[in-house]
């Protein structure tokens, strides 16, 4: 839903580098007689949240709609762009790189697009490798492969050092592809650029296989991950049914949000218990997970359990686990812990069970994107290019109500989407599994 500015409703605008003085080459490329609806004006906004009851006031903010502008800030012929991929792998990274390059080089006519090697390390000459100049030959087939052509890494770098690199390499715009830590680094870059009053655009493209970035209904790679997880669950189901009192235990990605576990459960329709970070659960007692699992085994002689990696952290004895290079708290491994608890319980209560534990995390995140994510990657990438060419900066491309928007990085970082356990999505999980709402 596109909306103009309305009195009394908060509108979220993004930072710009200055006046858009150049006519976009897309005007001519698209044919002036057929451009109606292809360009977006700066007074087009999208409401955050589309679920509104008739007759109720809605004060949800309005975000700038993403898309091509008729007038742009940079002269394409004199522009140099760069892309960087950071954090863990996710299906679709190469697709984003390829589509961004094509939009910059083929459609806008930007003569040179650089690929920064191995994340933000590549913006620090003391640590990183030299960037590569992207070309049609280099990007031609990369969308058919998993991973990232550019390589990736975790951890921050000094914003001042990175901005020095951008200035010295005459880079006019940088596209930062990654999750919350990456966007936090992009915001720090944009702040340093603004402090020095440099005409450099910093635009983020959200990448999180967990699908947990705020103001982004669906991030690229998520549907591919769900499809791969569904295949793993199908194999676990075969294993469980192939053994007397067989249990398939599958651990899926999801540190703080259980979207993959929940979606794969609904897609599979073979899961009996789904455990996610949003809902604490007890193992013991009449209403605990183990007792429910025991009833299932007596009745059906097999079961499938899907657990998100961040679920059940309160079951562990408190201890300092530290943080990874991205600043994330290191979680304890719920998969082997849960397997051991199940074995101990059934050793005492019977019957003797055969537990098959499967952790497919690295397999899932390294596969090529599926068709749905192929399309989403292309949409994210091209809208990021449109934003940067228009001189917009310190923003992330968001996705809400089926529309792409500009989200100021200051609003996006440090906020996580969670599965709404009182909503329809989680209700569908409960319906598919038949499990109780809580194990307490």
CATH of the domain at 298: 3.40.50.460
Would residue 28 count as lying in a domain?
Answer: yes
Question: Is residue 237 domain-shared with residue 345, that is, in the same domain?
Answer: yes
Residue 260, pLDDT > 90, answer yes
Instruction: Give pLDDT tens digits for 166-217.
Output: 999 999 999 999 999 999 999 999 999 999 999 999 999 999 999 999 999 9
Q: So what's the pLDDT on residue 139?
A: 98
Task: Give mean pLDDT, residues 342-371.
Answer: 96
Would residue 186 count as lying in a domain?
Answer: yes
Question: Is residue 322 domain-shared with residue 297, that is, in the same domain?
Answer: yes
Question: Is residue 214 domain-shared with residue 230, that is, in the same domain?
Answer: no
Residue 70, pLDDT > 90, answer yes
What residues contact 149, with CB distance under 8 A and at least 6 apart? 94, 97, 115, 138, 139, 142
Helix (H) or strand (E) segment spanning residue 263 = helix 259-268
Instruction: Give pLDDT tens digits for 178-188.
Output: 999 999 999 99
The pLDDT confidence band at residue 4, using thresholds 50, 70 and 90, is very low
> What is the rounded (10 degree) CA torsion for 274, 277, 278, 280?
80
Residue 242, pLDDT > 80, answer yes
Question: Is residue 270 domain-shared with residue 184, that is, in the same domain?
Answer: no
Residue 146, pLDDT > 50, answer yes
Question: Is residue 253 domain-shared with residue 371, that is, in the same domain?
Answer: no
Q: So what's the pLDDT on residue 342?
A: 98
If you average pLDDT over every residue of the chain, what do you get? Answer: 93
Would residue 440 count as lying in a domain?
Answer: no
Instruction: Give pLDDT tens digits for 29-52.
Output: 887 777 767 899 988 988 887 665
Would residue 127 count as lying in a domain?
Answer: yes
Residue 3, pLDDT > 70, answer no
| CATH number of domain containing 383 | 3.40.50.450
Q: So what's the pLDDT on residue 5?
A: 46
Residue 417, pLDDT > 60, answer yes
Question: Is residue 117 domain-shared with residue 42, that is, in the same domain?
Answer: yes
Look at 7 and 163; give whichever has higher pLDDT: 163
Question: Is residue 230 domain-shared with residue 214, that is, in the same domain?
Answer: no
Residue 21, pLDDT > 90, answer yes
CA atoms of 202 and 191, how far apart (whole Å): 10
Question: Is residue 135 domain-shared with residue 182, that is, in the same domain?
Answer: yes
pTM attached to this predicted model: 0.93
Degrees, nearest 5: CA angle 398-379-89: 75
CA atoms of 428 and 145, how far apart (whole Å): 33
Q: So what's the pLDDT on residue 401?
A: 83
Would residue 344 count as lying in a domain?
Answer: yes
User: Domain range for residue 288?
Assistant: 223-365+421-433
In order, the DSSP letters of 97-122 are HHHHHHIIIIII--SEEEE-SSGGGG
Would residue 353 count as lying in a domain?
Answer: yes
Cβ–Cβ < 8 Å for 226, 321: no
Q: So what's the pLDDT on residue 124?
A: 97
Cβ–Cβ < 8 Å for 293, 302: no
Question: Is residue 136 domain-shared with residue 241, that is, in the same domain?
Answer: no
Would residue 9 count as lying in a domain?
Answer: yes
Question: Is residue 188 domain-shared with residue 274, that is, in the same domain?
Answer: no
Rg of the Cα trace of the chain?
24
Q: Which of 420, 425, 421 is nearest to 437 (CA)?
A: 421
Question: Is residue 21 domain-shared with residue 160, that is, in the same domain?
Answer: yes
Would residue 438 count as lying in a domain?
Answer: no
CA of 100: how far to CAs of 39, 108, 209, 300, 392, in Å?
18, 11, 20, 51, 16
Question: Is residue 280 domain-shared with residue 380, that is, in the same domain?
Answer: no
Q: Which of 301, 302, 261 is nearest to 281 (CA)?
A: 261
Q: Quote the number of domains for the chain.
A: 2
Instruction: Give pLDDT tens digits for 289-338.
Output: 999 999 999 999 999 999 999 999 999 987 666 666 666 677 899 999 99
Residue 122, pLDDT > 60, answer yes
The residues carrying an active-site annotation are 210
């Amino acid at each position: 839903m596109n909306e103009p500015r309305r009195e009394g409703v908060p509108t979220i605008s993004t930072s710009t580098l200055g006046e858009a003085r150049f006519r976009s080459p897309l005007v001519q490329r698209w044919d002036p007689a057929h451009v109606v609806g292809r360009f977006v004006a700066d007074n087009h906004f999208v409401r955050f949240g589309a679920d509104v009851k008739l007759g109720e006031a809605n004060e949800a903010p309005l975000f700038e709609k993403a898309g091509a502008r008729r007038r742009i800030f940079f002269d394409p012929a004199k522009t140099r762009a760069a892309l960087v991929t950071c954090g863990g792998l996710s299906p679709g990274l190469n697709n984003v790189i390829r589509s961004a390059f094509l939009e910059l080089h083929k459609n806008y006519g930007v003569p040179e697009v650089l690929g920064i090697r191995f994340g933000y390390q590549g913006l620090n000459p003391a640590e990183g490798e030299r960037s590569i100049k992207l070309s049609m030959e280099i990007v031609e087939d990369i969308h058919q492969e998993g991973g990232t052509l550019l390589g990736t890494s975790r951890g921050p770098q000094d914003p001042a050092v990175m901005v020095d690199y951008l200035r010295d390499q005459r880079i006019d715009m940088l596209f930062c592809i990654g999750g919350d830590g990456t966007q936090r680094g992009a915001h720090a870059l944009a702040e340093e650029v603004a402090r020095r009053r440099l005409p450099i655009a910093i635009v983020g493209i959200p990448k999180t296989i967990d699908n947990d970035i705020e103001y982004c209904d669906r991030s690229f790679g998520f549907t591919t991950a769900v499809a791969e997880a569904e295949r793993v669950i199908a194999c676990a189901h075969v294993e469980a049914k192939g053994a007397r009192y067989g249990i398939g235990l599958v651990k899926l990605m999801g540190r703080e949000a259980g979207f993959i576990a929940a979606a794969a459960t609904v897609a599979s329709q073979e899961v009996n218990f789904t455990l996610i970070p949003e809902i604490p659960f007890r193992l013991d007692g009449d209403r605990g997970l183990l007792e429910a699992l025991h009833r299932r085994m007596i009745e059906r002689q097999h079961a499938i359990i899907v657990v998100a990696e961040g679920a059940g952290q309160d079951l562990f004895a408190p201890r300092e686990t530290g943080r990874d290079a991205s600043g994330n708290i290191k979680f304890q491994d719920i998969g082997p812990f849960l397997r051991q608890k199940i074995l101990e319980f059934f050793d005492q209560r019977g019957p003797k069970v055969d537990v098959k534990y499967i952790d497919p995390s690295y397999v899932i995140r390294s596969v090529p994107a599926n068709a749905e994510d192929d399309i989403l990657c292309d949409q994210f990438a091209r809208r990021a290019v449109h934003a940067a060419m228009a001189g917009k900066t310190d923003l992330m491309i968001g996705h809400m109500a089926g529309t792409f928007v500009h989200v100021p990085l200051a609003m996006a970082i440090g906020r996580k989407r969670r599965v709404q356990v009182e909503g329809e999505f989680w209700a569908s999980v409960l319906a598919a599994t038949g499990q109780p709402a809580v194990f307490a």
